[in-house]
Amino acid sequence: MEENENEIKNDVTIPEIMQINSDLADRTYIDTEGVLSDVQAISDIVQAITEEFENAVTQMNNLDYIWEGQAAWNAVNAFNILKEDHNAKITQINNYINYIKQVVAGGYTDVETTNKSLADAFK
């Protein structure tokens, strides 16, 4: 019976696995400097958005002192909901930025170098 290249093999040996990993390491390229540059650009944009939103919070708080009534209450409530949503989104984005910095950009080169060395050791 002929083996299909895409078929999963149950009897793969450790040296075969290491060779596959070595082959993948030879062909996988990530520009970690580019990743860090992109992450910094995203971080700068998030910071600018956060600063502008804080200005809006200050303005809304100032309105609260001079605007009274049901319309004011509705507007402040809607804005507070928007603020909570904004804060949650910014937290998510910052978590992702930190993840990329720690895992993808920072450790990628070291991990791949180690993996390639380990794969070469099993050749």
Q: What is the pLDDT of residues 87-116, one digit of tens each?
A: 999 999 999 998 888 877 666 666 667 777
pLDDT at 53 over 80: yes
Secondary structure element (H or E) that encloses residue 103, with its range? none
Q: What is the pLDDT of residue 123?
A: 65
Q: Pick 2 or 122 by higher pLDDT.
A: 122
pLDDT at 82 over 80: yes
Q: Pick 21 or 84 by higher pLDDT.
A: 84
Give residue 17's pLDDT band: very low, low, confident or very high (50, 70, 90): low
Distance, CA of 81 to CA of 71 (rounded, Å): 15
Neighbouring C-beta atoms of residue 85, cutoff 10 Å: 10
Assigned CATH class of 33-115: mainly alpha
Sign of CA dihedral 97, 102, 104, 105: positive
Q: What is the pLDDT of residue 65?
A: 82
Mean pLDDT of 22-50: 79
Q: What is the pLDDT of residue 1?
A: 44
pLDDT at 42 over 80: yes
Quickly tell me which residue has 């082959």 as its tokens. Answer: 23
Burial label, 3 (beta-carbon count in 10 A; 0-12, 13-18, 19+): exposed
Using a cut of 0.85, tell me whether the model's pTM lies above it. Answer: no
Domain ranges across the chain: 33-115
Burial track 89-107 (b if 16+ CB lie within 10 A, e otherwise): eeeebeeebeebbeeebee
Give residue 122's pLDDT band: very low, low, confident or very high (50, 70, 90): confident
